C-alpha cells in the first residue's frame, strides 16, 4: 500500500519537450514510473523517450488514460498548466516549478477547492512510492520500500531525512514533498490524513520549517485525528525575523508568528517528538516501529 501514487498511476508530463521535462521524464521512466504521455502545445505527434506527446492534457487523458500530471514548465506558464490539468479531470497534479507568483496560486487553489483532485506543490521535489513510481525530481536511489510515511516542505531536507531512515534500514511507504511556497495545494493535514488511512504506514515523519502556521494546524489535527505515531523536524530555528530564507514561504514575520519555537511547542503539545537533528528524527521513528 501507499498513498496517491503506485504502479497503476498513469502520468502525463506537462512540458516534456523542455530541457528539464526531457531529463526528468527519462529519470522517472528509468525508476519504473508509468509515463504514458507528454503535453506541450504545438508539439502534438512528437515523441520523447518513446512517450507520445499531445497538444493538450485533455488529449493525453483521452488517448492514454492519464490520471496524474507532472508540471515541468516555466513559472510564467505554471498556473495555466495546473488549471489545464484540473480542467482535464486529472486526479493528481504534481507541480515542480519554482517561482510561481503567489497571486496565481491563490487562483489555482480556489479552483482546486472545487475539485476532488490533489495538487502537490508548487516548488516541490514531488512524490515517490519506493519501488513503484516517482512523480518529480527526487533521487530515487536513496529511497527504500517500507512502512514510514514522510511529508516535508523542503526538497533536499527530505533527502537528508530519508537518507537517515534508509541508512537504518527503515523504508518508506510514500514520501511527499509538499513544497516551500506560501500557498500550496496539498497541506500537511491532507498528507497526514492520507497516511493515517493507509494501513501499511506504521509511522510518519513530518519535516516543517519556519513561516506560516501550517505546522501548528497540523499539530492540532494530529492531536484530534491521527493514531499513527508522528516524529517531527522544524528547520529555521536560527532564522532572523523578516528575512526570507530561500523559500518564499520561509519567513518569520515581524510580529513573531511562524517561528520554529511556536511550531515545535505545538507539535510537542500534540505528543509529537521533534528532533534537534535529522538523525534524531530517524531515531524517534525507529523507536515507533
- The DSSP secondary-structure symbol of 199 reads T
CB of 181 to other proteins, least distance (A): 9
Q: β-strands 92-95, 51-54: how paired?
A: unpaired
Our CB check for other proteins shows the closer of 141 and 199 to be 141
78-106 per-residue burial string, b: 16 or more CB within 10 A, e: under 16: bbebbbbbbebebbbbbbbbbebeeebbe
Minimum distance from residue 213 beta carbon to other proteins (Å): 6
Judge whether 68 and 93 are in contact, CB under 8 Å: yes
Contact predicate 210/245, CB 8 Å: yes
Beta bridge partners of 136: 126
Estimate to the nearest angstrom the gap between the alpha carbon of 275 and the chain centroid.
21
| DSSP label at residue 227 | -
- Residue 247 is a catalytic residue: yes
Contacts of 9 (CB under 8 A, 6+ apart): 33, 34, 67, 68, 92, 133, 135
Nearer to other proteins, 102 or 197 (CB): 102
Taking the complex as a whole, the smallest distance from the CB of residue 52 to other proteins amounts, in Å, to 26
List contacts with other proteins (CB under 8 A): 75-76, 98-107, 109-111, 125, 137-139, 142, 152-160, 163, 180, 182-183, 207, 209-210, 212-214, 217, 233, 235-240, 243-250, 253-255, 260, 276-279
Q: Which is nearer to other proteins, 145 or 276 (CB)?
A: 276
Q: How far is the CB of 180 from other proteins (least distance, A)?
A: 6
- Write down the least CB distance from residue 54 to other proteins, Å: 26
Closest to other proteins by CB, 198 vs 215, is: 215
The one catalytic residue among 24, 49, 225, 247: 247
On whether the CB atoms of residues 190 and 174 are closer than 8 A, the answer is: no
Q: At 272, phi and psi to the nearest 5?
A: -100, 115
Nearest to 150 by CA among 177, 126, 116: 177
Nearer to other proteins, 207 or 285 (CB): 207
In the chain, helix, strand, coil percent, each to 5?
35, 20, 45
> Alpha-carbon distance 205 to 228, whole Å?
10
Nearer to other proteins, 9 or 152 (CB): 152
Active-site residue numbers? 247
Amino acid at each position: 500500500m501507499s498513498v496517491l501514487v503506485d504502479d497503476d498511476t498513469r502520468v502525463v508530463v506537462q512540458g516534456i519537450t523542455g530541457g528539464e521535462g526531457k531529463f526528468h521524464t527519462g529519470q522517472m521512466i528509468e525508476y519504473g514510473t508509468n509515463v504514458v504521455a507528454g503535453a506541450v502545445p504545438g508539439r502534438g505527434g512528437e515523441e520523447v523517450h518513446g512517450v507520445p506527446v499531445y497538444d493538450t492534457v485533455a488529449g493525453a487523458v483521452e488517448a492514454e488514460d492519464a490520471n496524474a500530471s507532472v508540471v515541468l514548465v516555466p513559472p510564467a506558464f505554471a498556473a495555466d498548466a495546473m488549471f489545464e490539468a484540473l480542467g482535464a479531470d486529472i486526479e493528481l497534479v504534481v507541480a515542480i516549478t519554482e517561482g510561481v507568483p503567489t497571486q496565481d496560486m491563490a487562483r489555482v487553489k480556489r479552483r482546486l477547492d472545487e475539485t476532488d483532485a490533489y495538487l502537490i506543490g508548487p516548488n516541490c521535489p514531488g512524490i515517490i512510492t519506493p519501488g513503484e513510481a516517482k512523480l518529480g525530481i527526487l533521487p530515487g536511489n536513496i529511497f527504500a520500500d517500507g512502512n514510514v510515511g514522510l511529508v516535508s516542505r523542503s526538497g533536499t531536507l527530505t533527502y537528508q531525512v530519508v537518507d537517515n531512515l534508509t541508512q537504518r534500514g527503515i523504508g518508506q511507504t510514500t514520501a511527499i514533498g509538499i513544497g516551500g511556497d506560501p500557498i500550496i495545494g496539498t497541506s500537511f493535514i491532507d498528507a497526514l490524513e492520507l497516511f493515517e488511512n493507509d494501513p501499511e504506514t506504521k509511522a510518519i515523519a513530518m519535516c516543517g520549517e519556519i513561516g506560516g502556521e501550517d505546522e501548528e494546524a497540523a499539530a492540532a489535527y494530529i492531536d484530534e485525528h491521527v493514531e499513527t505515531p508522528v516524529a517531527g523536524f522544524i528547520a529555521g530555528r536560527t532564522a532572523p525575523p523578516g528575512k526570507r530564507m530561500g523559500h518564499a514561504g520561509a519567513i518569520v514575520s515581524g510580529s513573531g508568528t511562524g517561528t520554529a519555537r511556536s511550531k515545535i511547542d505545538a507539535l510537542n503539545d500534540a505528543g509529537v517528538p521533534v528532533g534537534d537533528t535529522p538523525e534524531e528524527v530517524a531515531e524517534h521513528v525507529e523507536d515507533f516501529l
